[in-house]
Amino acid sequence: MTTPIVKQGTCLCKKVRISISPEKNIFDACHCSMCRRWGGGPALTVEGGKSFHIQGEEFVSIYDSSEWAQRAFCKNCGSHLFYHLKNTQHYNFSLGLFEGVENFKFHVQIFVDSKPAFYDFANKTEMMTEAEVLAKFGATST
Ligand SMILES: [Zn+2]
Ligand SMILES: [Zn+2]
């Protein structure tokens, strides 16, 4: 038996409060052009796990960024909250919202073939191309 990890986070203005229970102490980076346009750089995210709670939902705006995914942000301060694959229970929350994640490990970088050459992370992580990501997660959407 493992004790679930619970992490608390807030957006910049603190109107939205989130608690997540990721199964592992890891986070990922996405280099796709949509994440970079959304956030100005690669998106660092952590999985929400099977149970997560959002307080201040009236401040959460959810945007359909594609047919298969939604992105959420705080209406008041603009902080990015999560990325959600619509046909799944898969929610990836912005790592920067959370406290107590200093020991989390940088696990995988996805859409590495979309990464521009002008930056690189020095961390050694797993790397997945768009085709590899779609082969792994695309099978669950129709
Ligand atoms: Zn806010
Ligand atoms: Zn992305």
Pick the CATH number of 7-140 from 2.170.150.70, 3.90.1150.200, 3.40.309.10, 3.40.50.2300: 2.170.150.70
Measured in Å, residue 56 CA sits from the centre of ligand 1 at: 9
**57 Cα: distance to centroid of ligand 1 (angstroms):** 11
Q: Which two tokens stand for residue 93?
A: 């929350």
Q: What is the pLDDT of residues 42-100, one digit of tens each?
A: 999 999 988 899 999 999 999 999 998 999 999 999 999 999 988 888 899 999 999 99
| Per-residue buried b or exposed e for 95-112, using 16+ beta carbons within 10 Å of the residue's own CB | bbbbeebeebebbebbbb
pTM, entire model? 0.90
Residue 55: how many other CB atoms lie within 10 Å: 13
Which carries the bigger pLDDT value, residue 1 or residue 107? 107
Domain ranges of the chain: 7-140
How many angstroms separate the alpha carbon of residue 65 from the centre of ligand 1? 20
Dihedral sign for Cα atoms in the order 84, 85, 89, 95: negative
By the CB criterion, residues less than 5 angstroms from ion ligand 2 are: 30, 32, 35
Beta strands 126-128; 105-110: pairing state:
parallel
Q: How many CB atoms lie within 10 A of CB 89?
A: 10
What integer is the mean pLDDT of 136-140? Answer: 66
